[in-house]
Structure 1
Amino acid sequence: MLTTDYVPGTPNWIDLGAPDIDAAVAFYSGVFGWTFQSAGPDAGGYGFFQRDGGTVAAIGPLTEEGASPAWTPYFHTRDADATTKAVEQAGGSVRVPPMDVFTAGRMAAFTDPAGADFAVWQPGTTKGLDTVMEPATLCWTELYTTDAAAAKEFYRTVFSWTFEDMDMGGGMIYSVVSSPGGGKGDDTGQGGIMELPQENRAAGSDSEWHPYFGTNDCDATFNAAVEGGATTLVPPTDAPGVGRLAMLKDPAGATFALIEGDPSLT
């Protein structure tokens, strides 16, 4: 399960690239009850989604040419420069080279060999998200990819991840991701990797990471999102042994999911 005892390879930040900050803040505030705090006049519009006074996610404007609205997971690293070299050696590409973010930390952003974007965060004064695994906070990260075998080898090389493969039926394999030292007890799962079925690819789906946010009532939160302008990808569905989940695109097109339950119990 996700924790705020961050170790290398575990998710420690999540942010949304949005074409309209005010519209995105209004949407997610309506869905999750988040408040927004600007990072200041020198932050280029970047700011923080907060719940009960703690940061649970962040948001900023789209800065890369041709970028689409999307949530980006960041994974803990002790050395962003070394991780950048590991990404390049493993066949990934660098979107944003390592850079200091004031005194908060050091970050870099990448694209894996199959085309999914992700980033790393080397903590300074900001260790990471203040709260996870609670309602309206990050509970899981998931990769849909066009090549699961290649993706697993890439992230194993970069982050030393391990995987537990689960047969979902119909030839579909879901790989639960764990980082060495991550999680508590036996609940080390922090995310999942699944290969996109051919019909999804034919419909235009491509490799991408998306977050799951917790909720006490998947149906109610789903309805609030749809009423706020979100598009349904997966309606509220029971996942045996896990809980109830749904997946949507926000009004600008960024994919996110909801989970009522603990996905690390898969």
Structure 2
Amino acid sequence: MPEVTAFAPGHPSWAELASPDPEGSGRFYRALFGWYSYTLTVGDLGEYEIFTLGDVQGPEVAGMQALADDSGTASWTCYFRTDDIPATLAAVRDAGGLETMEPTDVADLGRMALCSDPDGADFALWYPYNLKGAGVVDEPSAMLWVELASRDIERARRFYGQVFGWRAVDRDYYDTVYTDWKVGDWAVAGMVSMEELWPPGHPPHWTPFFWVSDCDASTARAADLGGRVRIPPTDIKPCRFAIVTDPTGARLGLVTPTTDVQAERSRP
């Protein structure tokens, strides 16, 4: 699709990796997706890596920073656009979620806050200054989708509906019910129930999915680069997808959408 000029409130706008080994993670993602990157110094937050598509001057696709301390876990965080961070944080608290990091300016890029939903799944809010979010989405090597794995899908439906105004629509994508969340007619995110296939102690979480031209080849490439395959390439109605973890353990999805979905997601 054309490069993004703005994101509407409630839409996923950015994905950010927290890594214990930024240098190694950078090599992995550059090799897997063909990304380039450059480093910014962002005040008290230190160095921040911006991944780009095409070349180092290309549109931004994701960010990366080092884990704040050794006790943290490597992970991707999904950011959602808001026009009013204090109001959205109030909605998070009213709906039973938590504010886990108070609003913070990220240099001149934007203002962010970290939250968790009532089941403990982390996500972030983004109010843009000079970085609207991803410069391109819904094309190969860029983010296509974000998905919540939840142990209480009814509570999650209530929470995200209250916070972002999302409308839940059930789909038969898997052998169980899958939830699409919509803003108007546009599907902005999905949700899958954490049933018996998940380890008992595995926490609820958000996962970003990146478009790849060949799911099988990209999954094999991720394994060759030191990642682990958690769900092998699998066909469902809208796509062929796989779940992998990178060499540091951060979880992400690889997805090759069907022709119909490609046409739908190519709309501005």
TM, length-normalised to structure 1: 0.90
1:251 to partner: Cα distance: 0.8
Structure 1 equivalent of residue 147 of structure 2? 142
**Contact 1:2–1:190 under 8 Å retained in 2:** no
Deviation digits for residues 85-124 of structure 1 (CA, Å, limit 9, x no counterpart): 1111111111111112222211100011101000010111
Structure 2 equivalent of residue 174 of structure 1? 178
Name structure 1 gaps, 5 residues minimum: 181-185
Counterparts in 2 of 1:162 and 1:116: CA distance versus 1, 3 Å: same
> Is 1:40 aligned with 2:41?
yes
Counterparts in 2 of 1:220 and 1:48: CA distance versus 1, 3 Å: same
- Range with bigger deviation, 92-101 or 3-12: 3-12
**Contact 2:42–2:48 under 8 Å retained in 1:** no
Residue 229 of structure 2, aligned match among 222, 229, 232? 232
**Contact 2:9–2:83 under 8 Å retained in 1:** yes
Q: d(CA) in 1 for partners of 2:3 and 2:150?
A: 25
1:243 to partner: Cα distance: 2.2
Q: d(CA) in 2 for partners of 1:9 and 1:2?
A: 20
Q: d(CA) in 2 for partners of 1:84 and 1:194?
A: 24
> Is 1:245 aligned with 2:241?
yes
1:68 to partner: Cα distance: 1.0
Q: Which amino acid aligns with 2:142?
A: T
Counterparts in 2 of 1:41 and 1:209: CA distance versus 1, 3 Å: closer
Query: How do 1:1-266 residues align onto structure 2 when only pairs under 5 Å count?
Result: 4=4, 5-40=6-41, 42=43, 43-52=45-54, 53-63=58-68, 66-168=71-173, 172-180=176-184, 186=185, 188-202=186-200, 204-240=201-237, 242-261=238-257
The SS at the match of 1:6 is coil
The SS at the match of 2:171 is strand
Q: Which amino acid aligns with 1:55?
A: E
1:3 to partner: Cα distance: 8.3
**Contact 2:42–2:107 under 8 Å retained in 1:** no
Identity of aligned residues (%): 35
Q: Which amino acid aligns with 2:22?
A: I
Q: Which amino acid aligns with 1:243?
A: C
RMSD, aligned α-carbons: 2.1
1:261 to partner: Cα distance: 1.0
Q: d(CA) in 2 for partners of 1:65 and 1:98?
A: 23
Counterparts in 2 of 1:192 and 1:55: CA distance versus 1, 3 Å: same
**Contact 1:3–1:132 under 8 Å retained in 2:** yes
The SS at the match of 1:46 is strand
Counterparts in 2 of 1:50 and 1:168: CA distance versus 1, 3 Å: closer
Q: Which amino acid aligns with 1:149?
A: E
TM, length-normalised to structure 2: 0.90
Q: Which amino acid aligns with 2:49?
A: G
1:67 to partner: Cα distance: 2.4
1:238 to partner: Cα distance: 1.6
1:234 to partner: Cα distance: 1.0
**Contact 1:80–1:120 under 8 Å retained in 2:** yes
Q: d(CA) in 2 for partners of 1:20 and 1:169?
A: 35
- Range with bigger deviation, 141-150 or 100-109: 100-109
Name structure 2 gaps, 5 residues minimum: none
